[in-house]
Amino acid sequence: MIKRLIALTAGLVLGFFVVLNLAFSDIFTWQDRLLSILIIYLTYGLAGLFLGLWDPRSILKNGLLLSLPAVAMLVVLMISEGRGALLWSGLYLLITLDAAFASLWAGSLIHRRSREKKEQRTDGSRQ
């Protein structure tokens, strides 16, 4: 339960302070847009990696809790702003989902592999 609450809290904080803030920012150049995409990847990547290492069996649940707050905020933004916000908000939505789920999967994979290596070492020392 506490892991889900932490995932949801991280999703709300990152969704509001990172994704929604970048969606509302006055970004005019492609360099600034690229930097905003990189910031989303890094923040959601680190949060997802941490959650994947901490709770490797709940990728889908943690991925939804981590990314859905930002997705909901972006959908509201797209509806309220109309066609002008559709392209970049849609791109941010896809990036948020991709970064959250890919990093959760990577963290889970790292956790499983390190656990397998630890088990192999303990099995080798018993023989």
| pLDDT per position as a tens digit, 64-115 | 999 999 999 999 988 888 777 788 888 999 999 999 999 999 999 999 999 8
Least Cα distance to 22 among 38, 9, 36 occurs for 36
pTM for the model stands at 0.85
Query: Would you state the pLDDT for residue 124?
Result: 65
pLDDT higher than 90, residue 28: no
pLDDT level of residue 127 (50, 70, 90 thresholds): low
The DSSP string of the chain is -HHHHHHHHHHHHHIIIIIIHHHHS---SHHHHHHHHHHHHHHHHHHHHHHHHH-TT-HHHHHHHHHHHHHHHHHHHHHHHTHHHHHHHHHHHHHHHHHHHHHHHHHHHHHHHHHHHHHHHHHHHH-
Query: Would you state the pLDDT for residue 23?
Result: 86
To the nearest whole number, what is the mean pLDDT of the chain?
Answer: 90
Query: Would you state the pLDDT for residue 121?
Result: 82
Residues ≥6 apart with Cβ < 8 Å to 95: 37, 40, 41, 44
